[in-house]
Structure 1
Amino acid sequence: MKLKIYLEIRKFHRNFLILSVPVFGLWYEAILAKLITMAYQLKLISTKFDIGEHVAMWTRNPKKMLILESLDGLELLIVAGFMEWHYIFSVIFGGLSVCMERVIASFLIRNYERNTQLYIPITLTLFTQLITFTATYFIIFDKVNIIMANLIWITSCIMASVMHFIIKKINKDWQKNMKNPKLRRENIFTISQQFQVKENLRAVALAQKLLYSLFAVIAIGGIGVVVLIMELVPPFFCHFLENIVFLNPYLICFVIMYSHPSWKEQFQKSLPSFKLSRRSTKIGGIVSVEPFDDIKKKSVIETDMYFKQLNDSWV
């Protein structure tokens, strides 16, 4: 439902949508991986040996490891583990790719809105997925230590934060120049450029809320991994950590839906608690009835008007 609202009420360039939507769609990959893992834990998928209760997140202690003579019957479990780590790194690097797209949009401010080519989102997707698969391979096959594993998400968060502030500063300067009468006479700012600046600033406002929520989830997960490895808490808490990681789209999606009035209004109207009809109230003999608004129609009109004006400005 949230993804449908996000796509129907378009507020950003198509490249931004292409990069941001898969970040949330990959949640189904994590759900499928978790279901496969649970099937092994509940012994719905039989193996030649007893897996037991191995819940150590990361260990070098042979006593806590599952010693195997072969991988027969564990192929699906390995695939599920790969999918879980791929989802985690896709969320981390997916946020980074969205920031990179906005940086490109800021530097190509004069003609970016006219650009309908897909090479930018495709290149960024291939680049981030290459890093994602590489990091997932190193983690799943134990090619890196715990320090390096944590440096991956820490470095990504720092780079995303730096890009966020670069985008904000560049577009604030553009907006300041557009409002300055002297600079407006020296430079011709087209309507499409003004739209692009507004779009970038909307993306910055949205990204700032998303960064806070995403960094909180990633930080909790990263700190949780360190705490489990150092055995400061019982291994059973590994299940709580997994649930925090897998349920993060709920927090992120709610932040997105409440970050823009149109999204918020449509989202609230789609909730059952907001569909109850309200009784009319009488104040001083005057009947006040809340008007019924077709939110979906209004949102579509608003979206079409935005992009129609933008297209007209390119002619």
Structure 2
Amino acid sequence: MSIIISSLWVQWIELVIGKSIVILYQYGFYTIDERVFATIFINDYEKKSRTWIPILIVTVIHFLSIPTSYIMIENMTTIEIALIGMFLISTGFSTGFLFVLKFNRRIEFKKTLTLSQKFQVKENIRAISILRTFVLVVAAYMVLICFIVTLLYLKIVQGAVLDHLVDNLISLNPIVCSLVLMSCSKVWSRKFFPAKYFHREIDTSIVMIDDTAVYFNQLKNAWI
């Protein structure tokens, strides 16, 4: 019985490790999609409860995950399917990111926006700015892997060195994504990379004062 319980615990740990790797990609997907809906419904996004938005996002995630899992279990994966999947993921992430960022940058300084709309625009830009480096690095990383795999598949370049390089790039992908995501978040960056902010403490306090003044000026104008 103890052997069975131990094996169940090992399976549980495997699920935790696997989820910790996959959640990096799901986090970026969720954030971009949520900010897309926030941009579309910018007039009343914070006032109305639209429960269908998270349900739709989760449904799409499962709709994409189920066939992918089936293909992997049945060993139906081919190099063409892998390359097409990586291309679609990179394109979808980049397109959604650029749409939200450019749209909010364009309307950020419009005088016709209400205080709540300006707050929503700031929140959209803040959320997308956090993922900007992450999305670009992940997209470039996947393009690099696709490029090397394509060279090997078409037999343009051959050699054991490239084979080992592709294996290492795929294996190190979660580590690279984790480090990039930690560096994108100010809280995590201050915790794990303190030297990055060693000479910026004075500048941070000045920015906080300016943001506070802007907020109260907007609040004052809203009541006039």
What's 1:112 paired with? Answer: 45
What letter is aligned with 2:91? I
- Provide the rounded CA distance (Å) in 2 between the counterparts of 1:194 and 1:114: 14
What's 1:218 paired with? Answer: 142
154, 160, 167: which is aligned to 1:233?
160
Structure 1 residues 148 and 239: CA distance shift in structure 2, 3 A? closer
Structure 1 residues 224 and 33: CA distance shift in structure 2, 3 A? farther
What is the CA deviation profile of residues 167-188 of structure 1, one whole-angstrom value per residue up to 9, with x for unaligned ones? Answer: 123212322423xxxxx3xxxx
What's 1:206 paired with? Answer: 130
- Provide the rounded CA distance (Å) in 2 between the counterparts of 1:205 and 1:271: 19
Structure 1 residues 161 and 242: CA distance shift in structure 2, 3 A? closer
* Map 1:82-121 → 2, pairs under 5 A: 91-92=24-25, 95-121=28-54
Say whether 1:195 aligns with 2:177: no
What's 1:247 paired with? Answer: 175
- Provide the rounded CA distance (Å) in 1 between the counterparts of 2:178 and 2:24: 13
Normalised by the length of structure 1, the TM-score is 0.48
Say whether 1:158 aligns with 2:91: yes
- Provide the rounded CA distance (Å) in 2 between the counterparts of 1:247 and 1:151: 23
What is the CA deviation profile of residues 21-52 of structure 1, one whole-angstrom value per residue up to 9, with x for unaligned ones? Answer: xxxxxxxx9x83798xxxxxxxxxxxxxxxxx
Superposed displacement of residue 252, structure 1: 2.4
Structure 1 residues 136 and 222: CA distance shift in structure 2, 3 A? farther
SS of 1:149's partner is helix
Q: CA RMSD in A?
A: 4.0
- Provide the rounded CA distance (Å) in 2 between the counterparts of 1:160 and 1:222: 16
Superposed displacement of residue 197, structure 1: 0.7
Q: Percent identity?
A: 21
What letter is aligned with 2:53? I
Superposed displacement of residue 199, structure 1: 0.9
Conserved? CA contact 1:221–1:244, under 8 Å = no
- Provide the rounded CA distance (Å) in 2 between the counterparts of 1:272 and 1:94: 22
What letter is aligned with 2:40? F
Conserved? CA contact 1:93–1:132, under 8 Å = no
What is the CA deviation profile of residues 104-158 of structure 1, one whole-angstrom value per residue up to 9, with x for unaligned ones? Answer: 1101001112245544223202211320232232134232421122111211211
What letter is aligned with 2:182? F
User: Number of aligned pairs?
Assistant: 189
Conserved? CA contact 2:24–2:177, under 8 Å = no
SS of 1:170's partner is helix
Deviates more, 1:233-242 or 1:135-144: 233-242
What letter is aligned with 2:134? L
SS of 1:247's partner is helix
Structure 1 residues 166 and 249: CA distance shift in structure 2, 3 A? closer
What is the CA deviation profile of residues 255-293 of structure 1, one whole-angstrom value per residue up to 9, with x for unaligned ones? Answer: 323xx4xx36xx43x45976xxxxxxxxxxxxxxx99xx
Superposed displacement of residue 254, structure 1: 2.9
Conserved? CA contact 2:97–2:128, under 8 Å = yes
Structure whose CA Rg is larger: 1
Structure 1 residues 216 and 240: CA distance shift in structure 2, 3 A? same
147, 150, 153: which is aligned to 2:80?
147
What is the CA deviation profile of residues 77-123 of structure 1, one whole-angstrom value per residue up to 9, with x for unaligned ones? Answer: xxxxxx59x956x6556534432221111010011122455442232
- Provide the rounded CA distance (Å) in 2 between the counterparts of 1:213 and 1:272: 18
- Provide the rounded CA distance (Å) in 2 between the counterparts of 1:120 and 1:241: 35
Say whether 1:171 aligns with 2:171: no
SS of 1:114's partner is coil
- Provide the rounded CA distance (Å) in 2 between the counterparts of 1:112 and 1:223: 41
What's 1:295 paired with? Answer: none
Structure 1 residues 199 and 97: CA distance shift in structure 2, 3 A? same
